[in-house]
């Protein structure tokens, strides 16, 4: 069976390679607005939307889609629109806990309903200095990342002082949980 990852994210491709060796990665459009009040509700809505869009294009393939949102001090933080937005996010994260929800959606050929569930994790950051924020922003590593950070890349992983929950959710694709779900459906 063909497996489609409805994402071009390098992090998600790397995580999926831990589970399956052959899959195709595609980009899909997603709604501009997500329904739901919490990050978990919003990511579930968006993951399902991506999954359904890919399933319409590839009806005989198993589709995997995911979406990630982060929140800090009660504010949901998506991907920064520009450097100024990224700076504001990093200042908000400095010395704080970042809660992250990643929802996974799986469309199985021949089944009416897609599987979808959120996984949640968190990381606590040390206080960040203005110089290190500026250096990080100059690197462009913040582009395309929820809350402007990827917890697996330097220097961000060095900023983390504690973590909890499902770390795969923080990284963008909970590979262990996805692997179990795929195993349970016979993949």
Q: Which long-range contacts (CB under 8 A, 24 or more apart) does 179-184 make?
A: 179/18, 179/19, 181/104, 181/106, 181/115, 182/19, 182/20, 182/106
Count other Cβ atoms within 10 Å, centred on residue 139: 11
Cβ distance 149 to 119 under 8 Å?
Answer: no
Q: Of the candidates 68, 66, 52, 67, which has an alpha carbon nearest to the alpha carbon of residue 108?
A: 52
85 catalytically annotated: no
Cβ distance 42 to 69 under 8 Å?
Answer: yes
C-alpha dist (Å) from residue 35 to 7, 32, 86, 89, 126: 20, 10, 24, 22, 32
Helices H / strands E in the chain, number of each: 7, 7
Task: Select which of 67, 85, 99, 184 is catalytic.
Answer: 67
What are the catalytic residues?
Answer: 67
């Amino acid at each position: 069976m063909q497996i489609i990852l409805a994402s071009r994210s390098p992090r998600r491709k790397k995580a999926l390679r831990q589970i399956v060796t052959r899959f195709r990665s595609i980009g899909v459009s997603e709604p501009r607005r997500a329904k739901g009040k919490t990050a978990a509700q919003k990511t579930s809505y968006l993951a399902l939307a991506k999954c359904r869009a890919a399933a319409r294009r590839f009806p005989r393939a198993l589709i995997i889609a995911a979406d990630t949102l982060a929140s800090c001090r009660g504010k949901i933080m998506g991907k920064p629109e520009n450097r100024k937005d990224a700076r504001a996010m990093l200042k908000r994260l400095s010395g704080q806990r970042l809660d992250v929800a990643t929802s996974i959606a799986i469309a199985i050929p021949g089944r009416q309903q897609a599987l979808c569930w959120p996984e949640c994790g968190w990381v606590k950051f040390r206080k960040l200095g203005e110089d290190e924020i500026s250096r990080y922003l100059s690197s462009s590593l913040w582009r395309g990342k929820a809350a402007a950070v990827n917890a697996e890349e330097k220097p961000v992983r060095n900023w983390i002082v504690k973590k909890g929950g499902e770390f795969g959710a923080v990284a963008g694709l909970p590979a262990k949980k996805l692997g179990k779900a795929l195993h349970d459906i016979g993949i």
